[in-house]
């Protein structure tokens, strides 16, 4: 499983596929305060990505994968600093 829940943190690992979007969405819908850890993620399927974009959970850990780190992660954290600050605090 490339998505798992560890306490209050949703951990995305390895190659996240389209079917990972549903559990991710479910966990985030259940508790909007949950954080998402991308450190071990190597790829995010667009379905997974759009869940993160829509719900904007707090992102923990910089992705090891350079594509995710350079191009995708900024869209999840930096795009709307006010909002993410609120959530981060």
Partner 1 sequence: MDDLLQHFIVEAHELIQQATDDLLALERNPQATAPMDSAFRAVHTLKGSVGLFDFAPMGIALHAAEDLLGALREKRAGIDTHVIDSLLACIGQAERWVAVIEQTGQLPPDAAEEGYQLARALRSQLDEDPAQAPDAALQADLGWVEELMAQAHDPAALRAQDHPLVAIRYTPRADCFFAGDDPMALLRSVPDLLAVRLSARDPWPPAAEIDPFSCNLRIEALSGAELDRVKAVFRFVPDQVTLHEVAQAAQNEASIAALNGAGAGAATGATGGAGARMLRVDASRIDRLADLVGEMVIAKNALAHLAGQFDDGLDRKHVAQGLLASQAAIERLVAELHGAVMDVRMMPLRDIFRRFPKAVRDLAGQLDRAIDFSMEGEEVEADKAVVEGLFEPLLHILRNAVGHGAEPERLRLEAGKPAKTRIVLKAYRDGDRVKVEVGDDGQGIDPAAIREAARQRGIVSVDDLDRMSDGDALDLIFAPGFSTASEVTDLSGRGVGMDAVRSAVERLGGQASVRSLPGQGTTIRLSLPLTIVMTKVMAVRLGHELYGIPLDGIIETAFVPASRVLPVRDAEAFVWRDRTLPLVRLADLLGIQALGEAPQRLKIVVMAAGDDLVGVAVDGFAERMDVLMRPMTGILANMPGVMGTTLLGDGSVLMILDIPELIV
Residues making contact with partner 1 (CB under 8 A): 18, 21-22, 24-25, 28-29, 32, 43-47, 49-51, 53-55, 67, 70-72, 75
Please, what is the minimum distance in Å from the beta carbon of residue 6 to partner 1? 21
Please, what is the minimum distance in Å from the beta carbon of residue 27 to partner 1? 12
Nearer to partner 1, 6 or 71 (CB): 71
Please write down the HEC assignment for all residues of the chain: CCEEEECCEEEECEEECHHHHHHHHHHHHHCCCCEEECCCEEEECHHHHHHHHHHCCEEECCCCCHHHHHHHHHHHHCCCHHHHHHHHC
């Amino acid at each position: 499983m490339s998505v798992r829940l560890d306490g209050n943190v949703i951990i995305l690992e390895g190659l996240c596929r389209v079917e990972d979007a549903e559990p991710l969405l479910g966990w985030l819908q259940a508790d909007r305060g949950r954080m998402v850890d991308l450190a071990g993620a190597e790829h995010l399927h667009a379905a997974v990505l759009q869940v993160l974009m829509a719900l904007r959970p707090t992102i923990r850990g910089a992705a090891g994968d350079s594509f995710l780190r350079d191009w995708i992660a900024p869209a999840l954290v930096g795009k709307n600093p006010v909002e993410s600050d609120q959530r981060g605090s």
